[in-house]
Every structure is written in C-alpha cells, then in structure tokens.
Structure 1
Amino acid sequence: MDSIFVNGTVGVGKSTLAVALSATETVSHAVIDLDAIRRLSPAPSSDRFNHELELLNLQSLTDNYRVAGARRFIIAGVIETKAEIARYVDALSSEGMFFCRLVARSDVLESRLRFRHRSDSEGLLWHLNRVEELSNILEAADLDDLVLDSSDIPASELAKAVRRAAGWD
C-alpha cells in the first residue's frame, strides 16, 4: 500500500498522527491534511463540508507531489462511507490505501475541543455536537483496517503501530 488514511472525528488527533508518521518515514512522501485543502467559506449549500472541492484539490496536489517524487501519502481527514473510498484512491492514484481510525474517550475529545475553540463558543458547540454524530457514523461505516485509541498514547507510539499494521516497516 502506498497510502495511509488517518480517519476519525474532530479533535481525535488525525493531524498529529499524520505528522508523527511522517517523522518516521524514510521513503519520499507527502502529508496532506484534508481540512487545509477544503477551506472555502461559505461552503455551497449542496456540499456543506466542501467534499467535492477537497477531492479536486487532492488530485491536483497528488499529481504535483508525484512529479516531485512522492511515492507514499499520509492523509489526515474523514471518510464516512465505503462508497467514497474509491474516489480517494482515484484522486491519489493509489496502489492501495490503509485505513486507521483514531478514537478517544469523550472526556479527552471534549478537553481538546475546548482548548482548540477557547475563543470561539459557537464553533465549540458545533464541534462538540459533531463529535458524537461523526463518531456514530464512522463506527457504523466500519471502514477500518486498524482502530487505535489516542486518549493516552503518544502519537509517536501510535505511528509505530500504524506502520507495522500497514506493512511500512
């Protein structure tokens, strides 16, 4: 597999794990945080999370990274349904994608989100509500090759477990 997709709810540590995976990767690779490539405000009413823009941008970035020599991809984001997997594999021109879903205890997620949105009470409320909704969606979707709890384990240790499970060691 040439791609690892770190999936999970808001505040679970997807970006942190992606950075930790990158720190241990010796093969030419790119790290892409999907939150960063889908920021458009306001989002169209037909695509409230800018999903279509995200896929277009992902394909463009992938093409550029591959030209520059990237052979592996580490992606931090959210995929909610099995039907979407093929679209991401296509956008990445991937040979195969390993899915790791991060989970965390609700108290940990709430603490992380309160810190992240300490100056944005409206955003905090939205994200606190979204955590439970998205957690239920991802649990039911069952897309995962590996599920890890990020509540108490350092990202560097999680990265080792992901690399082993994905066959990147």
Structure 2
Amino acid sequence: MNTQESLVPVLNIIGPVGIGKSSTADAISEILEYDYSLPHAVVDLDHVRRAFPPPSEDTFNMELGFKNLAAVWNNYRSVGAKCLIIPSVMESKEHLDKMRNSVPGADIFVVRLVASLEVNHARIRGREKTIDSLNWHLQRSTQLAKELAQKKLEQAIVDTENKSPSDIGREIIGKWGIVEWHGRGDT
C-alpha cells in the first residue's frame, strides 16, 4: 500500500447480490473499531444510491451513488475517518474511476467475495420478501457472478462459504494490510 499522506485507503468489497458484502463490511468495521481503534467509515454504496424511480439512462442509480459517496466521505473525513470501507457491486473499471473521483486520494483495494451459486441463492432466499424480488435477485446474482469472474477487477478473492462474517472480515483485513498501514503512523 502506498503510504503518501494524501492517500485514503479504500476497501471496496464486491461480489454478486446476496454474497455477504454488507455483512462483511459491518464485521470489518467492528474489528477495526474494537480490536485496533482504527478511525474509519463504512458507506454502503447500494444504500446511498437507493432511490426510485432511477433515471432511464442509469437504471442502478450509480451516478447518484457516486455523488452521495463524495458528500458522505467529506463528512466522515471531517470527523477523523482515516480509511473507508465500501461494499458495493462494482461492474467496471469506469465505476472504480468514479469512486476515485468521489474520494480524492483513494487507494482502492478491491476484494471479490465468492461462494457457490447454491450457497449464494440460499442466502438470497433467506432475505428477499417478495417473489418478484426473489426472482430478480436470483437471476442477477447468477449474472454478476459470471461477469465479475471474467472482469477480474479485484486484487484478492475471498471464499465466503462456511465462514462467519467475522472470519471473512479478518481474512480481508489481512489481505488489505490496513492494520500495518495504520500501525506505521500513516494516519
């Protein structure tokens, strides 16, 4: 990890819908807070772009999400956050570039979460409340798992099967190197 003072370590947790991105981000946040006292923020990009109806040219509200990320990051930074955790479906290098524009100085480390489709679909079945939403999410998770595997946007892959969010979080923290970065006094 580059240690220039202006850099902001950003962990982008990607993967198909239902894979555990948000749960993992929450676990990482708790570990960084309680085990390392590392000042940080979590911005679930899926949440900050949730608005209906989306514009026809941006059906997933990505532009809104990046605008909101910029505003929210400025607020977190002003109260001392030193790094940022962003769970979100990132589908392209263009989206990563927009994330960099939203978080000036972003040093982005991308981790892709994976699991078998059976496990991923079981997780989705446990959370979706309507049949239409369930069917859409099952189809979308299958599509995204294939697309993300082909695009290889990540620096690391973490298998989430048979692991708790805390175990996944600790594995990611080790791969990200944020504890060592923080320990050097770069924050």
Same fold (TM > 0.5): yes
In structure 1, the partner of 2:41 is: 30
Q: TM-score, normalised by structure 1?
A: 0.95
Q: 1:84 Cα deviation (Å)?
A: 2.1
- The corresponding residue for 1:9 is 16
Q: What's the offset of the Cα at 1:81?
A: 1.0
1:45 lines up with 2:56 in the alignment: yes
Corresponding residue number in structure 2 for 1:150: 160
Q: Following the alignment from structure 2 to structure 1, what is the Cα–Cα distance between the partners of residues 130 and 20?
A: 20
Seen in structure 2, the aligned counterparts of structure 1 residues 122 and 45 have a Cα distance that, compared at 3 Å, is same
2:6 aligns to what? none
Separation in 2, partners of 1:47, 1:132: 21
The C-alpha deviation readout for 1:48-92, integer Å capped at 9, x for no partner, is 000000000000001111111111101100111122212102212
Give, in whole Å, the separation in 2 of the partners of 1:74 and 1:95: 11
Residues 29 and 71 in structure 1, CA contact (< 8 A), matched pair in contact too: yes
Please say if residues 79 and 85 of structure 1, whose CA atoms lie closer than 8 Å, have aligned partners that are also in contact.
yes
Identity %: 35
Q: State the SS of the aligned residue for 1:27.
A: coil
RMSD: 1.1
Residues 118-158 of structure 1 show CA distances to partners (whole Å, capped at 9, x for unaligned) of x3000011111101111111111101111011121111111
Counterparts of 1:83 and 1:32 in 2: how far apart (Å)? 19
Which runs of 4 or more aligned residues in structure 1 lie more than 2 Å from their structure 2 counterparts after TM superposition?
none
**Correspondence for 2:185:** none
Q: Name the counterpart of 1:84.
A: 95
Runs of 5+ in structure 2 lacking a partner? 2-8, 180-187
C-alpha contact 1:82 1:141 (8 A) present in aligned 2 = no
Q: Of 19, 28, 35, which residue of structure 1 is paired with 2:26?
A: 19
Q: CA deviation at 1:115?
A: 1.3
Specify the code of the residue in structure 2 equivalent to 1:7: I
Amino acid at match of 2:44: D
Matches within 5 A, 1:88-103: 88-103=99-114
Gaps of 5+ in 1: none
Query: Could you tell me how far 1:95 is from its partner in structure 2?
Result: 3.8
Distance 2:117 2:76 in 1: 36
Q: How many residues get paired?
A: 168
